[in-house]
Amino acid sequence: MFSRSLRRLTGLLGLAACLLLATPPSVGQITTEAQLKAAYLVNFMKYIEWPGTHTTLHLCLFGRDSLGPQLAPYEGRQIGGRELRIRRVNSPEQLADCHQLFIPETEEARFGAVLRWVDKQAILTVSDAEFFTREGGGIALVRSDGRLQFDVNAEALNRARLKPSSQMMRLARQVIGGAR
């Protein structure tokens, strides 16, 4: 029991360190929830393995997102030897090279349609809507116990042929459809 708690604490400290290292130098430290969400989005890309080889990773923002300004400083950064590109999308035709798709809670009415667009494609879907994983999305950023955490839908990631790291799965607040 003690060993398990120690491993979890070590993992949490590791993720926290990664989040701090991912913070753009111009910002210095994460001061808003939007900046923290942006850091999570970038860091999720470090803990997911996509099929095939890619020299660029595309983080796509759907609809009326509010994280564009917080993500802009990450543009062009290296993640696992690949360059990060960030862009907005609004239709299925624009999703072809997306690796991660952020769908904000404000687009709740369109969750079903967007999830059908990406069904069985190697795209990590993320939202800040707490119920997103129960709707079939990959990762939901959730506010719990006064802090930002995340839930993972292992079945959605499996359908998308994505392999999350075991460390990320252990740090999730909740894993739906699979083991931590």
Rounded Cα–Cα distance for residues 154 and 139 (Å): 9
* Residues in the chain with pLDDT values less than 70: 1-30, 178-180
Whole-number pLDDT of residue 109: 94
* Sign of the CA dihedral running 169, 173, 178, 180: positive
Domains of the chain: 2-176 (3.40.50.2300)
- The pTM of the full predicted model, rounded to 2 decimals, is 0.82
Whole-number pLDDT of residue 17: 41
Whole-number pLDDT of residue 30: 64
